[in-house]
Amino acid sequence: MSFTSKIKSEITKQKFNKIEQISLLSGIIRNEFLEDTIRIQNENEDVARMIFNLVEQIYKIVPKITVRKGYNYNKNYIYIIEINNKEELKKDLSIDKNIPDDYIIDDDNLVRSYIKGVFLAKGSINDPQTSRYHLEILVDNEEYANFINELLNKYSLNSKILKRENKYMIYIKEAEKIGDFLRLIGTTKALLYYEDIRIYRDHINMTNRLNNCEQANVDRIIQTADSQIKDIELIKKYGIELLSEKEQIVAEYRLKYKDASLQELSEIISLETNQKITKPGLHHRFDKIKKLAQKIREKEQPND
């Protein structure tokens, strides 16, 4: 079972009062008309059963349900629910117009129920084990897409709209915001699964970044030490006495400890000479060595 199917099945097991059930059905059935029939398709057996039961309980209508094999080698079954077009049901659910009447989303619980219904009918979320985080709700009307987008963003989900051929996709890409959506629709099991994997992936990514950062630091230490050694070797050709006594000491220790960082070298010199030298002090002496080496290089260059 896909992650999306697990989320939808979890929604069907939640408790709704009658008003919330109407908002839920309104989100599922909106504009699903075929001549004189309301026709709903869904690949989730639990969702199909819930729609069937709610319509029968609330409106005393027994829908017709048909099961077909999925298209394009899809192994999933498609559940088709058909309801004779009853005006009472259409008006009660406010599904004969683009935007439902205010009473469908009159308070926070009804908004959440409506969003659950829309997700059951048109939504999907990538399994967090995949390479990208992605939630989408695909609808066929721009005005309705804007309406759903506004509902989601009342909860600061940062959803956006993208036109896809003749459809409109409301989508969320941020991992944290998708987790917030799962909280919004109350799917605790799916949320725990999602957050466990998200935190694990974030940990792995952080470890990789730290390793890369550590390797970059090592590379910089090696490059710096190599440059200092070249400067010292050049000066030695003309006489190490060109350096002050203090500079000669750090030059000697750099040649002796070629892979040491400045911090490590300052600690070694302080320990072995019994003369305290800080990392900034060491840097200052190497800077003088570098300037002297640069002057020698400039003099070695042939005149044009």
Listed in sequence order, the DSSP H helices in 84-187 are 87-93, 108-122, 142-153, 175-184
> Domain containing 85: what range?
3-186
Tell whether the model's pLDDT for residue 302 goes beyond 70: no
- 172-187 burial, b at 16+ Cβ within 10 Å, e below that, comes to beebebbbbbbebbeb
Tell whether the model's pLDDT for residue 194 goes beyond 60: yes
CA proximity to 193, closest of 59, 12, 7: 7
- Place 72 in a pLDDT band, splitting at 50, 70 and 90: low
Residues 46 and 176 in one domain: yes
Tell me which residue has tokens 């077009």.
Answer: 85
Residues 17 and 165 in one domain: yes
Q: What are phi and psi of 123, to 5 degrees?
A: -105, 160
User: Of 186, 216, 244, which marks where a domain is finished?
Assistant: 186
CA proximity to 68, closest of 38, 111, 102, 39: 39
Residues 66 and 159 in one domain: yes
Residues 111 and 219 in one domain: no
Residues 58 and 182 in one domain: yes
Share of the chain above pLDDT 90, in %: 36
Q: Which two tokens stand for residue 257?
A: 């400890």
Tell whether the model's pLDDT for residue 170 goes beyond 70: yes
Compute the radius of gyration of the chain from its Cα atoms.
35
Whether residue 127 lies inside any domain: the answer is yes
User: Of 186, 220, 244, which marks where a domain is finished?
Assistant: 186
Residues 241 and 122 in one domain: no
Whether residue 251 lies inside any domain: the answer is yes
Spatial distance between the Cα atoms of 69 and 222, rounded to a whole number of angstroms: 64
Q: pLDDT at position 253, please?
A: 87
Residues 123 and 239 in one domain: no
83-136 residue pLDDT tens? 876 777 888 888 878 899 999 999 999 999 999 999 999 999 998 887 688 999
Domains held by the chain: number: 2
Residues 135 and 50 in one domain: yes
Whether residue 57 lies inside any domain: the answer is yes
Evaluated on CA atoms 235, 241, 247, 248, the torsion sign reads positive
- Place 35 in a pLDDT band, splitting at 50, 70 and 90: low
Residues 145 and 214 in one domain: no
Whether residue 200 lies inside any domain: the answer is no
Residues 262 and 159 in one domain: no
- Place 165 in a pLDDT band, splitting at 50, 70 and 90: confident
Residues 71 and 164 in one domain: yes
- 70-83 average pLDDT score: 75
- 64-84 average pLDDT score: 78
Which strands form 33-34's sheet, in the order they lie side by side?
33-34, 37-42, 77-84, 64-69
Q: Kindly report the CATH number assigned to the domain that includes residue 76.
A: 3.10.28.10
Q: pLDDT at position 4, please?
A: 92
212-257 residue pLDDT tens? 776 777 778 788 888 888 888 888 888 888 888 888 888 888 888 8
- 3-16 burial, b at 16+ Cβ within 10 Å, e below that, comes to bbbbbbbbbbeeeb
Residues 224 and 159 in one domain: no
273-300 residue pLDDT tens? 888 888 898 888 889 889 988 888 888 8
